Structure 1
Amino acid sequence: MDYLVIPAYEPDHNLLRLIRKVKNKHHFHVIVINDGSSAKCDHIFKEAEHYATVLHHKTNQGKGQALKTAFTFIEALKVYGTVVTADADGQHKVWDIFRVAAKAAENPNQLVLGARAFTGKVPLRSRFGNSLTRTLFKLQTGVAVSDTQTGLRAFTTNMIPFMMQVEGQRYEYEMNMLLEASKEYPILEVPIKTVYINDNEGSHFRPVRDGLMIYKNIFKFALTSLSSFVVDYIVYALALLFLAAVPISLRILLANGIARVTSSIFNYSTNKKLVFKNQDSILKTGTGYFSLALGLFILDTLLIRLFYAVFGLNLLLVKIIVGMLLFALSWLVQKKFIFKERTHTAS
């Protein structure tokens, strides 16, 4: 069975034209979600009931929740098949919907995206937004996706439990879906043609906000790193104070060592639980993390000693400079190797 899911908020007759064409040419079980539309749209949903199952939200709950409502409905039917999501505004060609569905049926346990080419006359907002987010998405996940905002997606019904666990009720849900799927499933793309209606003025995509969403883990990592640095810095400063009578090289080594052990334990715990949400054993991740911590400690100590000897800078100031330099290295190693996320390449 093929299911076509169409969230609809204040739809016009483009919705009816779409589902009529689909039903005339395919055996899709079409599911339309009225996401709290006003009474002026009642006649459209009433007509849609001739071609589709129409589910209703009394109030507007957002596109993400509308999709989840449909997924819950499909899951209850307990009939294996493919699920296709499409927009209600008529931007997706019927033939492209069929092609995406076929690709998903041929590739179970994979997320299929209907990817627009962004050639020809493309609204500037759409071109800029997609260029920004696909670049950030690649940097964050390591997965190349050419169209991060497409609403035309497909997957097999056994993936519904995963889709239900993805966070978000509104338009952020679709970006969260991509971010989470990049860790668990291969992502495939099918080239599609998209019609921009009224210069795509109905688009709800927000380039800056969605771009920040992609980098939310880096922000969390920065916050835990800053907290860890504060711990490290305070312990380091106190150790320097209490070890004032010790020769400078040994003094730096001992102060930095005590500070690094304390902050590393704090940083490991917060990164594992809050940033990367890693489920691997403490033995597995701990070995890698504390090997990294040892390497960073050695590098940190050497750089502090070098900066102090060459530039004669204050030891407290040098600590801050070196910490900033090692931040990016720590993020990269932890993300790619220690708390490694499963990633699959789009194709």
Structure 2
Amino acid sequence: MTDWSDVWLVVPVYNEGQVIADVVRHAQQTFPNVVCVDDGSADDSAARIRTTGAHLVRHPVNLGQGAAIQTGVEYARAQPGAEYFVTFDADGQHQVEDVVRMLERLRSEEVGGRRIDIVVGTRFKTGADTSHIPWIKRLVLKTVVMLSPRTRRLGLSDAHNGLRAFNRTVAEQMSIKLNGMGHASEIVEMIDRWKWRVAEEPVTILYTEYSMSKGQSLINGVNILFDSALRTGSRR
């Protein structure tokens, strides 16, 4: 069996009490180190997390997914032996077997003679199952890529996929300032700025009735585009 004791899953959580315990327990069957960041949930998410034995960090108020990821990464990188980190959704959309493949590539694959720093999940490259992606979400995600020169230059096809695996170099340099969903564009910006060696891995995202009821709307997609445009413009 592969030893994943140097891996930490970072799970941002906001009002996921219905499913979070099952999601964490399933992940723990493979990855023993999980930190959940309860981002000011109004439901019983924190209590459900405690039943799993996962590490729990709490924001007293809702700050947004970007802030929760940054808090989780800071907590995880402070743990002894932590070398690899994964951002993992709380709603059951992400698959553990996809994470395993991403980490295996991170540990062994090279780009330009040097090890990969970050592997980003993609829903759109060969090998990914797109059958479950609602057409409106597919349109939004592809529009984000089309309108982002940086994303295209880096060769990324799905920059707003929340499933990412990265090494300690990335974890130590990561400093997310955008608290909301625009953090995904900010991470792409950091990949470019810090010259992290990046690769994409085809992954399957499960869109259940539950996850879709909490998922990213078309308006949120427009907001992401707006945030990204503002950040790009401010650096010209």
Q: Greater share of strand residues, 1 or 2?
A: 2
Partner residue of 2:224 out of 180, 200, 210: 210
Q: Which amino acid aligns with 2:13?
A: A
Q: Once the two structures are aligned, what percentage of the paired residues are identical?
A: 22
Match of 1:58 among 60, 82, 88: 60
SS of equivalent residue, structure 2 residue 19: helix
- Matched residue SS, 1:87: coil
For the pair shown, the structure with the greater C-alpha radius of gyration is: 1
One-letter amino acid of the structure 2 residue matched with residue 210 of structure 1? I
CA contact (8 A) 1:93 1:193 kept: yes
Aligned-partner Cα distance in 2 for 1:66–1:106: 29
Report Cα offsets for 1:17-71 as digits up to 9, x if no partner.
22212222x24311111111114334312213x2x11111111111111111112
Bigger shift: residues 211-220 or 111-120: 211-220
Relative to structure 1, is the Cα distance of residues 16 and 129 closer, same or farther in structure 2, using a 3 angstrom cutoff?
same
Structure 2-normalised TM-score?
A: 0.82
Q: Is the Cα contact below 8 Å between 1:80 and 1:158 reproduced in 2?
A: no
Equivalent of 1:44 in 48, 72, 78: 48
Q: Contact 2:8–2:35 at 8 Å: present in 1 too? A: yes
User: Structure 2 CA distance, aligned partners of 1:160 and 1:142?
Assistant: 23
Greater share of helix residues, 1 or 2? 1
Aligned to 2:174, the other structure's residue is in SS state helix
1:161 to 167, 172, 190: 172
- SS of 1:11's partner is coil
Select which of 16, 33, 37 maps to 1:33. 37
Change (3 A) 1:70 1:125: same
The superposition leaves residues 176-222 of structure 1 with CA deviations (integer Å, 9 ceiling, x where unpaired) of: 111221232122111111111227232236222212233335544xx
1:1-347 matches, cutoff 5 A: 1-24=6-29, 26-48=30-52, 50=53, 52-107=54-109, 108=115, 110-117=117-124, 119-138=130-149, 142-164=153-175, 166-183=176-193, 184-198=195-209, 200-204=212-216, 206-216=220-230, 219-220=233-234, 275-276=235-236
Is residue 174–residue 190 contact of structure 2 (8 Å, CA) maintained in 1? no
Contact 1:12/1:89 (8 A) holds in 2:
no
Post-superposition CA distance 1:288-329 (Å, at most 9, x none)? xxxxxxxxxxxxxxxxxxxxxxxxxxxxxxxxxxxxxxxxxx
SS in 1 for 2:41: coil
Q: 1:102 to 1:39 in 2, by over 3 A?
A: same
CA contact (8 A) 1:137 1:143 kept: no
1:169, distance to aligned residue in structure 2 (A)? 1.6
Letter in 1 for 2:208: I
Aligned 8 A contact 1:9 1:36 in 2: yes
Structure-2 separation of matches of 1:71 and 1:13: 24
**Per-residue Cα deviation, 1:250-290 (whole angstroms, up to 9, x for no partner):** xxxxxxxxxxxxxxxxxxxxxxxxx34xxxxxxxxxxxxxx
> Quick one: distance in 2 between partners of 1:167 and 1:144?
24
SS in 1 for 2:158: coil
Cα distance in structure 1, aligned partners of 2:145 and 2:155: 7
Contact 1:5 1:85 in 2 (8 A): yes
Q: 5+ residue gaps in structure 2?
A: 1-5, 110-114
Gap change, CA 1:180 and 1:88, over 3 Å in 2: same
Instruction: Pick closer, same or farther for the CA change 1:58–1:145 going to 2, 3 Å.
Output: same
RMSD between aligned residues: 2.2
Which stretch of the first structure deviates more once superposed, 136-145 or 193-202?
Answer: 136-145
Amino acid at match of 1:43: A
How far apart, CA to CA, are the structure 2 residues paired with 1:211 and 1:42?
A: 32
Letter in 1 for 2:34: V
* TM-score normalised by L of structure 1: 0.58
Q: Distance in 1 between matches of 2:67 and 2:44?
A: 22
* Distance (whole Å) between structure 1 residues aligned to residue 19 and residue 201 of structure 2: 23
Structure 1 stretch 59-68 or stretch 35-44: which is displaced more?
Answer: 35-44
**Structure 1 gaps, min length 5:** 221-274, 277-347
Aligned counterparts of 1:74 and 1:218: Cα–Cα separation in 2: 30
